[in-house]
Structure 1
Amino acid sequence: MDQGHDDRDGRAAGREPGSPEGMSAQDVDRRSDLARWISGVHAFPADRGTLLERAQSQSAPEGVLSALRSLPDRTFDNVEDVAHELGIGGNEQHD
């Protein structure tokens, strides 16, 4: 048996079912939690301040607010763009 794949379904070993390639189950949970506080109708594009205001108005937990405060001051196209900037699903967090 190849140690990198499960012979039954070809899935990469160590990756949760339903997790996008390059994302752990924890990354999926983090991105989902983030999206809960910053998504909505016509939510994007949005800059850091707008995302932070939206999350604050919905009483987002401090961990989410802290992550949003750490974002660079630029416009984000979607939740995936925000998650990528925060290093969710990637190998490192961007400064």
Structure 2
Amino acid sequence: MIEFKNVSKVYDNGSVALDDVCLTINDGEFVLVCGHSGAGKSTLFKLLTHEVVPDTGTVIVDDFDVTRMKRSKIPKLRRKLGVVFQDFRLLPNKTVAENIA
């Protein structure tokens, strides 16, 4: 399960990415996130993977409270998520199979 409880994120430049978002995605649900540029889609995913932390609210992924997660636990969280990034994040010195692994 993924749960956002009253999550807000404002970047240093004053850009409001998310404002008091409440969202629950239950196990087995398939969800598509769409919206115009600047709507907060990327921020939503960055919050799930602990690339950024919310200014307010709580992000829960399965049993992980992502907002209070220790740095050492982040890799375990990310192994539970399947994310396809827009910029691929491929390692140039690895083969396709190695990048997938």
Confirm or deny a common fold (TM above 0.5): no
Higher helix share: 1
TM-score (norm 1): 0.30
TM-score, scaled to structure 2: 0.29
Q: Which protein has the larger Cα radius of gyration, Structure 1 or Structure 2?
A: 1
Structure 1 or 2: more strand by fraction:
2
